[in-house]
Amino acid sequence: MNENYNMENLNKTPEQKKENKSILFENHKIELLSEEGAVEFGEEHIKKIEKVLNLFSENGLSPAKKFSEFESINNPDAKHRGGFLGSAHIGYGKSKELSAIIFYNYGMNTNKPHRISSSENFKGKGFVDNFSGTLAHELTHGGTTGEKFFDDYKFNREFIQEWREKFGWKYVRKNVKNEKTGRWEKAAPVEGWEKDKDGFWRNNDYIITREEYTTMPEKCIGGKRGYAASVSQQEDICDSVAAYLLNPSILDKEKREFLENKIKEYKQNYKSDNNS
> Which residues on adjacent β-strands are paired with residue 28?
25
State the average pLDDT over residues 236-265.
96
Q: What is the pLDDT confidence band of residue 175, given thresholds at 50, 70 and 90?
A: confident
pLDDT in tens, 223-234: 999 999 999 999
Task: List all residues 6 or more positions away from 142 whose beta carbon is below 8 Å from its beta carbon.
Answer: 63, 66, 148, 149
Q: Residue 160: enclosing H or E segment and its boundaries? A: helix 153-166
pLDDT band of 122, cuts 50, 70, 90: low
Helices 253-266 and 233-246: crossing angle in degrees, nearest 10, is: 80
Q: Minimum mean pLDDT among 8-12, 191-195, 207-211, 235-239: which range?
A: 8-12
Is the pLDDT confidence value at 62 over 60?
yes
> Over the chain, what is the mean pLDDT?
86
Q: Is the dihedral of CA 120, 235, 213, 150 positive or negative?
A: negative
* pLDDT confidence of residue 75: 87
Q: What is the dihedral of CA 153, 156, 158, 159, to 10 degrees?
A: 180
pTM of the model as a whole: 0.87
Beta strands, E only, 51-140: 69-72, 88-91, 100-103
